[in-house]
Homo-oligomer: A and B are copies of this chain.
Amino acid sequence: MKLILAVALAIGCGMPLGAQQPRMDKETQAKIDDTIAAYAAAWGEPDVAKRRELLEKAWATDGVYIDPTAHVEGREALVQHISGFLKSLPGHRIEATSRTDVHHNQLRFSWRLLKPDGSVLTEGMDFGALDSAGRLTRIVGFFGPFPALAR
């Protein structure tokens, strides 16, 4: 019934359906923004102790990280995985390029990977899930835009 209402509103307003979703309250949005900011900062933090502290805030103990090149289980394994990432790409950092959208503890945001000079190395998108404490239990990353349809 909620979908019917959302669609009716969307038709009525001539707006994309997404614009008609109930907005999160400010406190919830702020908490999620903080979590994603800490998570993204962890990817650019060369100090292992500081990185662990960021992930203790943002990442569940048994959270799973998956991207096209990696499958990493657990917070401490992610702390170490990022060490390898930063060894290969020193001074690089991840920056969100969208706000984080959440429903049913499921989330999405887009990002870009910046070189030390601030230019963009690549872009991508992350989809994830949160536990009841608001920590990430899963991130699945994809690189680049959605692949074009085969015609």
Q: A-side interface residues toward B, CB under 8 Å?
A: 2-4, 6-7, 10-11, 16-21, 66-71, 84-85, 88-89, 96-101, 103-104, 106, 108-110, 113, 121-125, 127, 140, 142-150
Chain copies in the assembled complex: 2
Nearest residue in B to A150 (C-beta to C-beta)? Answer: B99
Nearest residue in B to A122 (C-beta to C-beta)? Answer: B17
Chain B residues near A18: list those with CB within 8 A.
Answer: 122, 124, 142-145, 147
Question: What does DSSP make chain A's interface, helix, strand, loop or mixed?
Answer: mixed
A98 & B149 in contact (Cβ 8 Å cutoff):
yes
Chain B's nearest CB lies how many Å from the CB of A20?
8
A98 & B146 in contact (Cβ 8 Å cutoff):
yes
B109 & A127 in contact (Cβ 8 Å cutoff):
no
Identify which of B68, B97, B101, B143 contacts A142 (C-beta below 8 A).
Answer: B101
Identify which of B10, B19, B124, B148 contacts A17 (C-beta below 8 A).
Answer: B124
A70 & B127 in contact (Cβ 8 Å cutoff):
no
Identify which of B88, B98, B142 contacts A4 (C-beta below 8 A).
Answer: B88
Given known A16-B123, A125-B108, contact A88–B3 (CB-CB < 8 A): yes
